Amino acid sequence: MDNLNLIDYFSEFKELKNIDRPTMMSVLEDAFRSALRKMFGTDENFDIIINPDKGDFEIWRNREVVEDGAVEDRNLQISISDAKKIDEDYEVGEEATDEVKFQDFGRRAILNLRQSLASMIMDLEKDNIYSKYKDRIGEIITAEVYQVWKKETLLLDDEGNELILPKTEQIPSDYFRKGDAVRAVVAKVEMRNNTPLIILSRTSPVFLERLFELEVPEIFDGLITIKKIVRVPGERAKVAVESYDDRIDPVGACVGMKGARIHGIVRELRNENIDVINFTNNNQLFITRALSPARISSVKLFDDTMKAEVYLQPEEVSLAIGKGGLNIKLASQLTGYDIDVYRDTIQMDDEDVNIEEFADEIEGWVLDELKNIGCDTAKNVLELSVEELVKRTDLEEETIHEVIRILKSEFE
C-alpha cells in the first residue's frame, strides 16, 4: 500500500463520519506517530507533513551524524558515510534529515497503522455523537424505527446514529413498526462501556412542552409561558399557561381556532386528553381551574399543611375526581395542594344519610377512606360499583361489600 492509497482509505472514513479537515489531519498524524512509536520506541525525532489537498504525506527523520562505527541507535544516529550519501555537506555532530517511505516498513506496519486509524476514527465518532446529543437534551428529534424489542425500540437518526426509546418512555398505546418515523425528546445522554447511549422519551412533560412550542407560535416567541405541565402519558395532561400580553388569551391561543392547534398535539400523544388552564397566583382560583371540567362551589385552603377542601354539587364530584382518579391527581400535582373533594351537603337529598351517622357500625378509618374520595353520604357510596370503590380506596373488597350491606339496610 503506498502513501496515496492510505490517504484514500482515510478519505472514506472522512465521508462516512463527517470529520472536518483539521481533525482529519490531527487524527492521521496521531496514527502515524503511534505506529512510529511501536516500530522505533519514539517518534520525537520524526516530522510528519500531511497534505490533504494533494492526498499525500511525508515523514522525515532527524538523526545525529556520528563517526563510522559509532552508531549505537540506528533510529537516532547515522554514520558520516551514510549521511554523505544524503548530502555531501553533512559533518559529524550535525543533524541529518532524510525522508522515510512508510511502505518500506512492510505490510505488517501498514496493517497496524490502518487498525490504529480505524480505532481512532471510531473513538472520535463516539465523542462527536456524545457531544452532539449532550447539547440537544430537551430537544425534539425525528428518527426512524430500525428494530423493535420487548423492552426498548432502536431508532436511527439522519446520520445513522443509534438512539434508544425504552418501553418505559413510550406512551402505553404506542405501536411501532420498522421504518416508522417517530418523534421524541432527547431525555438523557451518557457513556456506557465507552459507547454513547442516547435515551429518548415520549412520556416526559418536556416532550409535551416542546410540542406546544412547535404548534403555538406565541409560546415559541415567548409571548405565552408554560408555567407547569403534569401528565399521565396517553391518558390526561394539564398545562398551566400565562400570557405577558393582556391582548392575548393564552388558553385560546394554545387551543386554536376550533381546536386546530391542540388537535395535532393530541394525535401525536395517542389521543391524550389535554386541559389547558390559565395560570394565576390566586390559589383558590387556580385549584378551581385545575379541577376543570368540574364546577366548584367553594374551596378551603390550609396553607400550613398544603391541603385544600373542595366542595361541589353531588353531580360534579365524579367529574372532579375523573376516571380512575386522574383529574384530581393531576390537579393536586399542578397546584401543589393535596386536594380532597366533598359534596355540598346543603343540597343533600332529604332521603340521603351522612356516612358519619354509621360510625357505630363502620370503623372510623373506613369512613375516612370513603370521605377522601368524595363519598360523604350513603347514596354517594351506593352510586359507585364495588370495582370503582376498590380502585379509588385502599379498602379490601370484603370490607366494601360489608359497608354496602350496612348502607343498603338503611334504605330498606
Residue 136 lies in a domain: no
Q: Do 97 and 66 belong to one domain?
A: yes
Mean pLDDT of the chain: 86
For residues 199 and 214, state if they share a domain.
no
Amino acid at 351: E
- Report the pLDDT value the prediction gives residue 2, as an integer from 0 to 100: 47
Q: How confident is the model at residue 4 (pLDDT cuts 50, 70, 90)?
A: very low
What phi and psi, each to the nearest 5 degrees, are found at residue 254?
Answer: -75, -40
Contact criterion met (CB below 8 Å) for 216 and 201 = no
Which of 22-36, 237-251, 381-395 reaches the highest mean pLDDT? Answer: 237-251
Q: Based on the domain organization, do 151 and 70 belong to the same domain?
A: no
Among the candidates 155, 176, 203, a domain finishes at: 203
Q: How far is CA 293 from CA 273, 296, 331, in A?
A: 12, 9, 11
**Percent of the residues in the chain that have a pLDDT greater than 90, as a whole number:** 43
- Give all strands (DSSP E) within 37-103, no chain letters: 46-51, 56-66, 77-79, 95-100
Q: All 3 cell numbers of residue 88?
A: 555531501
- Residue 210's pLDDT band (boundaries 50, 70, 90)? very high
Residue 148, in any domain of the structure = yes
In DSSP terms, 354 is beta-bridged to 377
Residues 6+ apart with CB under 8 A from 358: 367, 378, 406, 407, 410
Question: CA 159 to CA 209: how far, in whole Å?
Answer: 26
Does a structural domain hold residue 342? no
271 and 364 housed in the same domain: no
Q: For 63-112, how does the pLDDT look when each residue is reduced to its tens digit (9 = 90+)?
A: 999 998 888 888 899 999 988 888 888 888 899 998 887 666 677 777 77
For residues 192-200, give the mean pLDDT. Answer: 92
For the whole model, what pTM was predicted? 0.67
Please indicate, yes or no, if residue 232 is contained in any of the structural domains. Answer: yes
pLDDT at res. 19:
64
Same domain membership, residue 222 and residue 185:
no
Instruction: Give 228 or 314, the one with higher predicted confidence.
Output: 228
Any idea which of 31-45, 331-345, 346-360 has the lowest mean pLDDT? 346-360
Indicate the helix (H) or strand (E) that contains 201: strand 195-201
Close Cβ partners of 126 (under 8 Å, ≥ 6 residues apart)? 191, 194, 195, 196
Same domain (yes/no): 160, 79: no
Claim to verify: residue 33 and residue 93 sit in the same structural domain? yes
> Cβ distance 237 to 229 under 8 Å?
yes
Q: Which residues have a Cβ under 8 Å from the Cβ of 250 and sit 6 or more positions away? A: 218, 224, 241, 242, 243, 276, 278, 279
Out of 89, 107, 131, pick the residue that ends a domain. Answer: 131
**What are the CA-CA distances from residue 391 to residues 112, 237, 326, 382, 397 (Å)?**
66, 20, 12, 15, 10
CATH number at residue 267: 3.30.300.20
Judge whether residue 250 has pLDDT over 50.
Answer: yes
Contact at 8 Å (CB) between 309 and 299? yes
Per the structure, the complete domain to which residue 163 belongs is given by 143-203
Asked if 240 contacts 228 with a C-beta cutoff of 8 angstroms, the reply is: yes
Residue 172 belongs to some domain of the structure: yes
Residue 366 lies inside a defined structural domain of this protein = yes
φ, ψ (nearest 5 deg) of residue 78: -140, 140
Residue 285 lies in a domain: no
Copy the grid coordinates of residue 146. Answer: 430500525
Q: What percent of the chain has pLDDT over 70?
A: 91
CATH code for position 100: 3.30.1480
CB 378 within 8 A of CB 352: yes
Please indicate, yes or no, if residue 111 is contained in any of the structural domains. yes
Domain count, the chain: 4
- 39 & 76 share domain: yes
Which range has the worst mean pLDDT, 14-18, 25-29, 266-270, 378-382? 14-18
The 8-class DSSP code of residue 376 comes to -
Coil, strand or helix at 246:
coil
Residue 337 DSSP code = S
Question: Do the bridges between strand 224-232 and strand 195-201 make them parallel or antiparallel, or are there none, so unpaired?
Answer: unpaired
Q: Using one digit for the tens of pLDDT, what is the confidence trace for 357-412?
A: 888 888 888 888 887 777 878 888 888 888 888 877 878 889 999 999 888 888 76
